A and B are shown apart, each in its own frame.
Chain A
Amino acid sequence: DTGVSQDPRHKITKRGQNVTFRCDPISEHNRLYWYRQTLGQGPEFLTYFQNEAQLEKSRLLSDRFSAERPKGSFSTLEIQRTEQGDSAMYLCASVTDPLNTGELFFGEGSRLTVL
């Protein structure tokens, strides 16, 4: 499968625990995005990377959220001290060359449930 892959697909955790999600983009894609989607809403921008550089982070994102893309390939999104309001689908997407085509290729998402 040469698409965007995310792991785990589902995560159930207790409030206060830390969770980490991983995203493997399409191999030749140098730009990677993280979005959050709650039921009945559109994807909400969290952050994005150009290779290993984090170019923008949403002002709505609390300090409990951190993302990395250490070698410009896969990325991780960590949520510390989870809260019930963090329950959502976390979507990763990659883009090959936004100047030519802005199409975001999304992964299947990682669904987080905080009890």
Chain B
Amino acid sequence: GENVEQHPSTLSVQEGDSAVIKCTYSDSASNYFPWYKQELGKRPQLIIDIRSNVGEKKDQRIAVTLNKTAKHFSLHITETQPEDSAVYFCAASLSGGYQKVTFGTGTKLQVIP
């Protein structure tokens, strides 16, 4: 089955700096890669996703890049703000999300004011 690895497990940045979280996946057939944000005590919520026919996607301060050949994808957050502090999970799925979604182990991001 699919295996998703995520690094780093914790990340501290100064407010205004950029943050990068990296993930690798094992199943070359995976074609849908969402990112979820989970604030303390709350449910995970989708912040951005990318499909394998696209190499990069951007939404305001967040962007995701995908390298299918290397089987890795990354989340980039620019101009970080204290409200970006949370745990971020990458994930991978077959069939554009039509089958089970396999999550990484998470990155705890702390933005220091």
Provide the main secondary structure of the chain A interface.
loop
- Is the pair B98, A43 in contact by a Cβ cutoff of 8 Å? no
Q: Answer whether A42 and B89 are a contact pair too, CB < 8 Å, given A33-B100, A102-B97.
A: yes
- Is the pair B49, A102 in contact by a Cβ cutoff of 8 Å? yes
Closest to B42 in A: A108
Q: Answer whether A107 and B43 are a contact pair too, CB < 8 Å, given A41-B105, A42-B89, A102-B49.
A: yes
Interface, chain B (partner A; CB < 8 A): 1, 4, 6, 32, 34, 36, 42-46, 49, 89, 91, 93, 95-106
19 residue pairs A–B, Cβ–Cβ below 8 Å: A33-B101, A35-B103, A41-B106, A42-B6, A42-B106, A43-B44, A44-B103, A45-B100, A48-B100, A59-B1, A91-B44, A98-B97, A98-B98, A98-B99, A99-B98, A101-B97, A104-B44, A108-B42, A109-B43
